[in-house]
Amino acid sequence: MTVRRLVLTSAVVGILATASTTFAQTCEPVSGLFTEHILPKDSAPNDPAGRVLGNVQGTLQGATTAFLSSLEQKLNGDLHVTTNNVFVTDEGNQLFTRGDAQWQEILRGFYQVELTLQIVGGTGKYAGATGSITTLGIGNNVGPGSGQFLQEYRGQVCTK
Amino acid sequence: MMRTVFVVLALGCLATPAAAQQRICTEISGQLNEFILPQASAPTDPFGRILGNVKGSLEGSVTAFLTAFQPAPNGNVHVTNNHAFATLEGNQLFTRGAADWVLVKTGFYQVDMTLNIAGGTGKYATATGSIHLLGVGNNIAPGTGQFVDEYRGQICITQ
């Protein structure tokens, strides 16, 4: 009786341990660079605050697009923006993020940019992904429908 | 004699801008791998938006949205679209396109698309020409699916 109980307990513990291993989260560092171009109005007429299209190098190598979900101008010329960014890697996986950025004005149309992207899932190997990515960079000649952002990114993507 | 010199100089001045404005056309080709974005990533584009990776002459990234979507009773679809390419070199290329999607089975299409070039930035600022694409659409539905296309065409720029 005691032996049977021990065997059953071991089996249950084994199953729980297996399940726990199966659903364990794995976190990987990501880093690299991206270049984003602000699209002209004709290429994103339905995005009132504009949209960017960019190329990504490094861990997330591939393409990215993003739109501003809010934009708040401060008296000193700085901007606080929230964003919705998507990455499509060369491998064919998508990564979805929501961002919050401070654009510090250097001179008119030129900004120092600090952006934090919270990962909210993806497709393929990024399905259910969490984590965050911080970017540091600059915005050059930024205006409605034109300009460019050059950014370095670093963060962690966690997947199950 | 002096009159002849003036005429020759004048002709020379006229010929220089004409040569500077020469139109150069280049053949381009490669592949596109486009992913339909989920609704949350393009909430204001009524027919959705794609984001893709480009290989070949226009190596870089591409995004596009549909400007019209006309399904036929046989399951085929005619669409018009608006593409923007951003090359790794940092140039943008803008196009207006029309495509026929021939239904293979539910959610799967054979795609034949023509993109008319409508300018760009950088070296494509004066671009004209057209690009023809042939490919497939896999698992196509609102907010999901993928297009894999091969492209071939000609870009003309002023130099």
Among the residue ranges A20-34, A76-90, A129-143, B98-112, the one predicted with the least confidence is A20-34
CA angle centred on A98, ends B91 and A28, rounded to 5°: 90
State how far the Cα of B106 lies from the Cα of A10, in Å rounded to an integer.
49
Structural domain boundaries in chain A:
26-159
What ipTM was reported for this prediction? Answer: 0.86
Q: Quote the minimal CA–CA distance from A73 to chain B in Å.
A: 23
Q: What is the pLDDT of residues A31-74, one digit of tens each?
A: 999 999 999 999 999 999 999 999 999 999 999 999 999 999 99
Residue A11 pLDDT more than 70? no
Q: What is the pLDDT of residues B41-82, one digit of tens each?
A: 999 999 999 999 999 999 999 999 999 999 999 999 999 999
Share in percent of chain B as helix, strand, coil (round to 5): 15, 65, 20
Q: Do A55 and B146 touch (CB under 8 A)?
A: no
Length reported for chain B: 159
Average the pLDDT over B26-45 and give the result.
97
B19 burial class (0-12, 13-18, 19+ CB within 10 angstroms)? Answer: exposed
> Would you say residue B16 lies in a domain?
no
Residues of B in contact with A123 (CB under 8 A): 35
> Would you say residue B12 lies in a domain?
no
Q: What is the pLDDT of residues B137-158, one digit of tens each?
A: 999 999 999 999 999 999 999 9
Encoded tokens for B33: 């791998």
Give me the number of domains chain B comprises.
1
Q: What is the pLDDT of residues A83-132, one digit of tens each?
A: 999 999 999 999 999 999 999 999 999 999 999 999 999 999 999 999 99
Instruction: List strand residue ranges (DSSP E) for A1-145, in order.
Output: 26-38, 51-58, 62-73, 79-89, 94-107, 110-122, 130-143
- What CATH number has the domain spanning A26-159? 2.40.160
> Would you say residue B56 lies in a domain?
yes
Could you tell me if B41 and A84 are in contact, meaning their C-beta atoms sit under 8 angstroms apart?
Answer: yes
Instruction: Give the range of the structural domain holding residue B112, as residue numbers without chain letter.
Output: 23-158
State how far the Cα of B36 lies from the Cα of A92, in Å rounded to an integer.
12
Please tell me the number of Cα atoms within 13 Å of A16 on its side-chain side. 6
Q: Do B63 and A62 touch (CB under 8 A)?
A: no
CATH of the domain at B69: 2.40.160
DSSP H/E element including A58? strand A51-58
> Would you say residue B10 lies in a domain?
no
pTM of the model: 0.87
Say which residues have a Cβ less than 8 Å from residue B102's Cβ, sequence separation at least 6. Answer: B76, B109, B110, B111, B112
Helix (H, G, I), strand (E, B) or coil at A9: helix
Of the residues B36, B51, B91, the best mutation for testing chain A's interface (the one with the most A CB atoms within 10 Å of its CB) is: B51
pLDDT of residue A1: 47
> How many Cβ atoms sit within 10 Å of the Cβ of residue A14?
10
Distance of CA B82 to the CA centre of its chain: 8
Could you tell me if B48 and B145 are in contact, meaning their C-beta atoms sit under 8 angstroms apart?
Answer: no
> Would you say residue B101 lies in a domain?
yes
The alpha carbons of chain B give a radius of gyration, in whole angstroms, of 21
Residues of B in contact with A146 (CB under 8 A): 121
State how far the Cα of A68 lies from the Cα of B35, in Å rounded to an integer.
21
DSSP H/E element including B109? strand B108-120
Provide the residue type at B149 as one letter.
D
* CB contact residues (below 8 A), chain B span 91-150, against chain A: 92, 94, 121, 146
